Amino acid sequence: MSELVSTALDPGLAGAAAAAEGTIEALRSLLLLIVGAKAGEEIARRLGQPGVVGEVAGGFAVGPHALGLASLDPVVFVFAELGVVILLFSVGLEVRTDDLLAVRRAALLVALLAMALPLALGAALVSWTGEAPGPAVFAGLALAATSIGITSRVLAEMGVLDRPFSRVILGAAIVDDVAALLLIGIVSGAARGALSLESALAVVVSALGLLGLGLAVARRARGLPREVFTWPLFADTPLVPAFLLMLAGALVAAQVGLAAIIGAFVAGLILAETEAREELAEEMRPLGLVFAPFFFAVTGAQVDLGALVNPALALLAIGLAVVGVVTKLAGGYLGARGLGRWGALAVGAGMVPRGEVGIVVANLGITLGLLTGDLFSAVVIAVVLTTVAAPLLLARVVPRAMREA
Amino acid sequence: MSELVSTALDPGLAGAAAAAEGTIEALRSLLLLIVGAKAGEEIARRLGQPGVVGEVAGGFAVGPHALGLASLDPVVFVFAELGVVILLFSVGLEVRTDDLLAVRRAALLVALLAMALPLALGAALVSWTGEAPGPAVFAGLALAATSIGITSRVLAEMGVLDRPFSRVILGAAIVDDVAALLLIGIVSGAARGALSLESALAVVVSALGLLGLGLAVARRARGLPREVFTWPLFADTPLVPAFLLMLAGALVAAQVGLAAIIGAFVAGLILAETEAREELAEEMRPLGLVFAPFFFAVTGAQVDLGALVNPALALLAIGLAVVGVVTKLAGGYLGARGLGRWGALAVGAGMVPRGEVGIVVANLGITLGLLTGDLFSAVVIAVVLTTVAAPLLLARVVPRAMREA
């Protein structure tokens, strides 16, 4: 019987005992990451720079490639992901679906140009260094995707989420995510020698179906009374039901291959149409203040500047980063010219960060055998450089776009 | 060079790629746990029972020993711990240090009686079944400690945190934690055949020193202006500095061997004296709503009722649970008679849950070789039963104590 009981009870409890130690370790890493992020933000802002650059730098400083105070165990990545999910959900709460649909043409054009240009020119640059077409295309692909987290934070901090250029950026980020899904499916299929355009299209159709459904629900949710969320006895306020909807949206999106943050954003769009909107925005504020910094700090903590000591690698990385920045700026400028010169540049600047999306694509390239040591490192460093460059660009371009409007 | 780069970059990035999959898995478990907890709470409250019982039951339902929907990976334990840390910090924000110190005699007496009685009678019961004195004493020890999480939640839900019996419970829980530290030190030392009363006392002295320091800081913090927390540019409100202080308090407490939640509670006491108190309580509310349920759901998810199919084991477990409940009620009743009959019983009921503290002690017993399969299982089931019984007892006793007052 003892065996029966111990097989029935031990796994969980042995886990609990081990977890008690590990839990304190994890909380220590989380505290150090947020302390680093906030110290970095304080310094950046006192220097007149965007706070988020300081958060990334602070995360780098306490992370394993610098002071080594905080370790990047899996728990830390969950907090980072939850942080960016909360951030995009909160951004969704501030956006009206109709405003987003109103800029759909510009968003579509921007997304396509701002993916095609870095894909083509990135691949061309890598080809020119002597790489085969497969790796070259994959490196271009890592530069084509956009990570909207950092841009969202900068736009929210500046209080410009309701401006047309912000809506174009958000709309383009959605299109971008779907297009990346299609491109990654095609390129991985081709690399495996088993390209099935049908299956790649099936993935995209289901992703588009989900997005369409989300937007349709958002339009139907207009004016839903607060009581729709507060009828359960556990819900004195709309917060807990909304939090569940946010997590569910993130997970469903991840299930069909989209980024989890796109699902959280759409959940936010839906709730933004209801009468619970303002109360929810107020209740989500503390969650965003505490969690979003983990995302930026963990982004910084993954950076290893040591790789830059190799001159050839450093040159390639910087070349890719320059191509990455210039092509996104050009894509935004050409695709959103209706917003005026600086407005269109603001759109391009908003599309510059590649962040975790670029890193995931690069890792996929390793798995497929298309990116090897040096090229992989150069791509990752370029991704990081674009991510840090974006808020600095936005800080210069957005005020001009505001004056122009 | 490729090797240089890959050793420098790969660990973090390979981790990031693996974490991307694991992160979505972890978010799924977290969503299922909170959905289970909230569904359970809804059912419990519609049946007129305390919501927290439903949260524990809901966690059990989705957990590995029932439906198996949510897995208990380390990430889940970190969210549970953060949940109870946030809960106790928020409770601390509602308590005045002077009110706590005013009941110190009753708290001390309650803590000592409510530990001595279950230790003695629990050990006696286990001895009577034929166990050796070592295991018997350790089983009693697992029944002696108190877990304040569930009681805090029930008292906060009832809006009675400012009543004298609540203050006695909170004060006694602090004394209890220090006394448990001393007892565990002595018993483990004796079990290892290396009992050093000096080292056990040294641990307790440093814990008491830390607590004394915390309380002294709390009294000096009286009337500190809000600006003390909002001078950094990153702090538009006191939330982020307070959150850092909360985590730091929890970690420092864990460092000296106290429960992390005691440190978070003291951090709350300190901030409760400042002018930021009300604003902070308001900002912490959404964090508590979202995180505290993880603690209760994870408590439930660790329960395995399957062990109860063995009649001898079930009988011993129920016997220990009855002893555990009766001795805590008696300890509270005898120790806090000045609060009136029902007030004193409310104190006893508040000390009933053993929760994660009892489980940690039981696991220590396994490590030391003092608790074996059956006895360990019986102790753990008894711990769980006391934890579920406490809110049901409080729901009956507290209203009578309020009428009596």
Per-residue pLDDT for B12 more than 60? Answer: no
Whether pLDDT at B147 is above 80 = yes
Domains of chain A, residue spans: 2-404
Q: Mutation test of the interface with chain B: which of A32, A93, A377, A384, choosing the one with the most B Cβ atoms within 10 A? A: A377
Residue A200 has pLDDT above 90, yes or no: no
Could you tell me the pLDDT band of residue A143, with boundaries at 50, 70 and 90?
Answer: very high
Mean pLDDT of chain B: 88
Q: How far apart are CA B358 and CA B387, in angstroms?
A: 10
* pLDDT at site A14: 41
Please indicate whether, in this complex, the C-beta atoms of B6 and A373 are within 8 angstroms of each other: yes
Q: In angstroms, rounded to a whole number, what is the distance separating the alpha carbons of residues A35 and B241?
A: 9
Give the span between the Cα atoms of A43 and A39, in whole angstroms. 6
Residue A116, min C-alpha distance to chain B (Å): 25
CA pair distance A254, A251, nearest whole angstrom: 5
Q: Rounded mean pLDDT of A224-239? A: 95
B28 interface with A at CB cutoff 8 Å: yes
CATH top-level class of B17-404? mainly alpha
Select from A35, A290, A313, A315 the residue whose CB has the most chain B CBs within 10 Å, as the one to mutate to test that interface: A290
pLDDT in the model for residue A285: 96
Nearest CA in chain B to A26: B78
CB-nearest to B307 from A9, A234, A367 is A9
Band of residue A195 on the pLDDT scale cut at 50, 70, 90:
low
- In this predicted model, what pLDDT tens digit does every residue of A332-389 receive, in sequence order? 999 999 999 999 999 999 999 987 778 778 878 887 888 887 888 889 889 888 988 9
Nearest CA to B262 out of B111, B97, B149 is that of B149
3-class SS letters over B272-310: HCCCCHHHHHHHHHHHHHHHHHHHHHHHHHCCCHHHHHC
Q: Is the minimum CB–CB distance between A69 and chain B shorter than 8 Å?
A: no
Query: Residue A19: what pLDDT?
Result: 55
- B360 and A17: CB-CB below 8 Å? yes
**CATH T-level assignment (fold) for domain A2-404:** Na+/H+ antiporter like fold (1.20.1530)
Q: What is the DSSP string of B180-233?
A: HHHHHHHHHHHHTT---HHHHHHHHHHHHHHHHHHHHHHHHTTT--THHHH-ST
Report the residue from A38, A243, A251 with minimal CB separation from B234.
A38
B305: chain A residues, CB-CB within 8 Å: none
Dump pLDDT digits (tens) for A29-41. Answer: 999 999 999 999 9
C-alpha of A386 from chain center = 13
**Distance, CA of B92 to CA of B260 (rounded, Å):** 13
Q: Is the pLDDT of residue B136 over 90?
A: yes
% of chain B residues with pLDDT over 70: 95
Distance from C-alpha of B141 to C-alpha of B259, rounded to nearest angstrom: 16
Give residue A76's pLDDT: 94
| pLDDT, tens digit (0-9, with 9 covering 90-100), for B265-302 | 999 999 999 999 999 999 999 999 999 999 999 988 88
Q: What is the DSSP string of B28-86?
A: HHHHHHHHHHHHHHHHHHHTTS-HHHHHHHHHHHHSTTTT--S---HHHHHHHHHHHHH
Report which residue type is found at A371.
Answer: L
Nearest to B349 by CA among B180, B143, B165, B181: B165
Q: Per-residue pLDDT for B390 more than 90?
A: yes
- When pLDDT is cut at 50, 70 and 90, the band that residue A12 belongs to is very low
CB B233 within 8 A of CB A52: no
Mean pLDDT of B183-193: 76
Nearest CA in chain A to B232: A42
pLDDT of residue B6: 32
> In terms of DSSP H, where are the helices of A129-196?
133-144, 149-158, 164-191
Q: Is A45 on the interface with B (CB under 8 A)?
A: yes
Calculate mean pLDDT across residues B107-118. 95
State whether residue A27 sits within 8 Å of chain B by CB: yes
Say whether residue B315 is in contact with chain A using an 8 A CB cutoff.
Answer: no
B25 touching A, CB under 8 A? Answer: no
Q: Is B260 on the interface with A (CB under 8 A)?
A: yes
A113 pLDDT band, cuts 50/70/90, is very high
Identify the pLDDT of residue B220. Answer: 93
Q: What is the mean pLDDT of residues B346-375?
A: 85
What spatial distance separates the first Cα and last Cα of chain A, rounded to whole Å? 77
- Average confidence (pLDDT) over A268-275: 96
Residue B198 is predicted with a pLDDT of 78
Q: What is the per-residue pLDDT for B19?
A: 55
- Cβ B27–A81 below 8 Å, yes or no? yes
The pTM (predicted TM-score) of the whole model is 0.88
**B 186-205: CB under 8 A from A:** none
Q: What are phi and psi of B142, to 5 degrees?
A: -65, -25
Residue pair A87/A292 in contact (Cβ under 8 Å)? The answer is yes
At residue B308, what is the residue type?
A: L
Give the Cβ contact number of residue A205 at 10 Å: 12
Give the C-alpha distances (Å, rounded to integers) separating B189 from B123, B257, B361.
Answer: 18, 15, 14
Are the C-beta atoms of A54 and A42 separated by less than 8 Å?
yes
* B275–chain A Cβ distance below 8 A for any pair: no
